[in-house]
Structure 1
């Protein structure tokens, strides 16, 4: 009996010790600038958006060559996965191995941001990711919680879902933004009647890196898109730049890339009867000459040469857009809280 009591006491003490290793998450974000991370494959990027309109590219950091979150097997074991997550979190550990790897990358990106800020500690950040089949929303939430950062869209900065790379790249190229985000009346008017763009645009967002090819057809507008705006999408980790020699031959690889690039746009035509007005490129290999040649050939053939292609700062475009979102969400929250405080004082 004494042995059992002692074992229980030791186990409880160990859990408390492990839990103490988890960083405490701040209650609110105390900085006006927006911080964001783009957790793509096989690297992550960080950016800061300042209230004066300046956006700074902070860092590009490589992740592990084969992150566990590229597997889709967990999708078939959801209940046991949730139980295992809860048990690991109760013991003060990352909720899963996926969360552990995400946390490592986020820690590195946060350290780069704080070094850029001369040691100032950040309280929270936004994150944008590609559409990975086994990347659950709670993976990001748990990774941020584990390292002690507020995660947008978590409480109290509710936004409404993961900020997809497609919407982030659209914003990072200068679309969907109010001319002055601090003027709510003007911003609301610009959302109703956009001065420099259509009220809604059908876009194709294409990411090409050493480890992944994604193509996403979505409907974008003023403000920030929700994941549901991504109507048709393709993600293939066998078509990244580094996979080109693992195919039967180069011609086979590039033909497969060509088909993958255009597939979501063709699905939009077939099922949505919609054309594509803009194409946005991002990723560290999207400027490759061979890729660009394949892209332009298939776009001209299928969509016509009137479709505009944008490729502003392709490595950092997504994270720059996410940083803009973070800054505006912080500001909106603080304005709402200030009005509530004034109301309580009356």
Structure 2
């Protein structure tokens, strides 16, 4: 679920008019398929995954199988305690970053970062080297939140990757609290609730 939440936090996969599930369905049906590569990096672990949200919808109940990789031997703490010329660990990180994209049969449409250490300069340098070796990535078509060499993000919406998964989950939870799954209501209902809260008479009482 974390990759889905990061996807949502970066502005993807959440319909605009979520109060109307029918309009949401129409909106997602018009979107092209997404293939999202998420990279989570912390002091202790590298976690990568690829998800294919149905019609681009984040946190969908119906999702394609997720490919995942987890490595507890290449976290930032380990990276910072080696010499920059020590190629063994650097090579392992690059290799781990390439495992899922090389095996995945479809072109990636998104690359998204998460975790408190993912924007550390040493890791970003390794990541950029790894991306150069990914054949199923088209830089002109891919959407990402990877900072460029000047420190800014390629994507227009850059959020703190430390809290990306939490933010995405909260956005989704808000929608589920406001609108129950598979339900909709007349637009007049919200107006009736506002009048009730204000102590005003309802239309049928006038």
* Residues 26-41 of structure 1: pairs in structure 2 closer than 5 A: none
8 Å Cα contact 2:7-2:58 kept in structure 1: no
Could you tell me which residue of structure 1 aligns to residue 66 of structure 2?
231
Q: Does structure 1 residue 222 correspond to structure 2 residue 61? A: no
8 Å Cα contact 2:13-2:57 kept in structure 1: yes
CA shift, 1:300, in A, is 1.8
8 Å Cα contact 2:20-2:184 kept in structure 1: no
Consecutive unaligned residues of structure 1, counting only runs of 5 or more, are 1-163, 340-346
**Secondary structure at the counterpart of residue 35 of structure 2:** strand
* Residues 197-208 of structure 1: pairs in structure 2 closer than 5 A: 198=32, 200-208=33-41
**Secondary structure at the counterpart of residue 201 of structure 1:** coil
Q: Distance in 1 between matches of 2:127 and 2:6?
A: 18
8 Å Cα contact 2:114-2:162 kept in structure 1: yes
* Residues 182-193 of structure 1: pairs in structure 2 closer than 5 A: 182-193=19-30
Could you tell me which residue of structure 2 aligns to residue 137 of structure 1?
none
CA shift, 1:183, in A, is 2.7
8 Å Cα contact 1:218-1:231 kept in structure 2: yes
Q: Distance in 1 between matches of 2:62 and 2:48?
A: 14
Q: Does structure 1 residue 330 correspond to structure 2 residue 166? A: no
| 1:114-133 per-position Cα deviation (integer Å, ceiling 9, x unaligned) | xxxxxxxxxxxxxxxxxxxx
Q: Distance in 2 between matches of 1:224 and 1:169?
A: 10
Which of 120, 123, 145 aligns to 1:291? It is 123
CA shift, 1:337, in A, is 10
* Residues 67-146 of structure 1: pairs in structure 2 closer than 5 A: none
* Residues 55-70 of structure 1: pairs in structure 2 closer than 5 A: none
Q: Does structure 1 residue 257 correspond to structure 2 residue 93? A: yes
Q: Report which structure shows greater RCO (CA 8 Å, sep ≥6).
A: 2
8 Å Cα contact 1:191-1:223 kept in structure 2: no
8 Å Cα contact 2:5-2:58 kept in structure 1: no
CA shift, 1:218, in A, is 1.3
Q: Does structure 1 residue 281 correspond to structure 2 residue 116? A: no
Where is the strand percentage greater, Structure 1 or Structure 2? Answer: 1
Could you tell me which residue of structure 2 aligns to residue 10 of structure 1?
none
| 1:80-138 per-position Cα deviation (integer Å, ceiling 9, x unaligned) | xxxxxxxxxxxxxxxxxxxxxxxxxxxxxxxxxxxxxxxxxxxxxxxxxxxxxxxxxxx
CA shift, 1:223, in A, is 4.1
- Could you state the TM-score of these two structures normalised by the residue count of structure 1? 0.44
Where is the helix percentage greater, Structure 1 or Structure 2? Answer: 1
CA shift, 1:212, in A, is 1.0
Q: Distance in 2 between matches of 1:204 and 1:282?
A: 11
Max Rg structure: 1
Could you tell me which residue of structure 1 aligns to residue 102 of structure 2?
266
CA shift, 1:250, in A, is 3.5
* Residues 137-156 of structure 1: pairs in structure 2 closer than 5 A: none
Q: Distance in 2 between matches of 1:192 and 1:322?
A: 22
User: How many positions carry a matched residue from both structures?
Assistant: 167
